[in-house]
Amino acid sequence: MRQKILEKSNELFLNLGFKSVTMDEIASALGVSKKTIYKYFKNKTELVDAVTKHTFCVISDGIDKICALKENPIDELFYIKEFVMTHLKDEKSSPQYQLQKYYPKIYESLKQKQFHIMQGCIVENLKYGVELKVYRKNIDFEFISRIYFNGMTSIKNKDLFPLKNYSMKTIMNYYLEYHLRGICTAKGIQQLEHQLKNNQL
């Protein structure tokens, strides 16, 4: 039952936002009493914390599997983007932004974990890209990976990038292009152009 509560809550939070969804609505969507949910989670904050940890684990495992395939590093970033967008339902409700605003402690903890995972993944991506000569050989792996993480976090700020002006898919594609054009060799740019054609908005 706990797993069902996590999955249904995650779906509702992603579609409607962490703030909007009540415990009553989660119980109703599951067809159970609110008391059943409180058997597993003492309050909404505890449920939000469990849902974010669960989703983080699912996404991290998926990213690890994509990285293990050792695809072309440029393609790999687009595959990761597609995978994350699928699991976060295109982020229509700005979940990360809402988490930061209404559950700051949970957000900070999640951000630290995201940084740790993404840092390792991006550094490996950069090293492999240099090896394959699709990225420039003189790039600073640590610096680029930190800038990449910071940019990925910032584009989810709906004050900076209102969803009425940009879909999350559009912003993600713009950001990937921005990131890759700064580090690609001529060979890499060719691969990037190919990906952009396939990801036309």
Residue 15 lies in a domain: no
pLDDT band for position 58 (cuts 50, 70, 90): very high
Closest CA to 53 of 13, 16, 21, 20: 13
Neighbours of 38 (CB within 10 A): 14
Query: For residue 92, is pLDDT > 60?
Result: no
How would residue 57 be classed by pLDDT, with cut points 50, 70 and 90? Answer: very high
Tokens 């932004």, located at residue: 97
* 54 is a domain residue: yes
Q: Other CB atoms closer than 10 Å to residue 14's CB: what's the count?
A: 20
pLDDT band at 166 (very low <50, low <70, confident <90, very high): confident
Which two structure tokens, joined as six digits, stand for 128? 């492999």
Band the pLDDT of 89: cuts 50, 70, 90.
low
**pLDDT surpasses 50 at 201:** no
- Tokens (6 digits) for 200: 């036309």
Amino acid residing at 50: A
Question: What H or E segment, with its residue span, contains residue 130?
Answer: helix 104-131
User: Does some domain include residue 100?
Assistant: yes
Task: Over range 16-22, report the average pLDDT.
Answer: 88
Domain of residue 151 covers: 44-198
Q: Which residue is it, tokens 């449920």?
A: 47
Distance from CA of residue 116 to its chain's centroid? Answer: 13
Mean pLDDT for 54-76 is 93
Residue 51 lies in a domain: yes
What's 110's domain CATH number? 1.10.357.10
* pLDDT higher than 80, residue 94: no
In a domain, 33, yes or no: no
What's the Rg (C-alpha) of the chain? 19
pLDDT in tens, 104-135: 999 999 999 999 988 999 999 999 999 999 99
Using the 8-state DSSP alphabet, how is residue 61 labeled?
H
**102 Cβ contact partners less than 8 Å away, ≥ 6 residues apart:** 18, 19
Within-domain flag for 69: yes
Domain count across the chain: 1
pLDDT of residue 159 exceeding 90: no
- Residue 169 neighbours by CB distance under 10 Å: 15
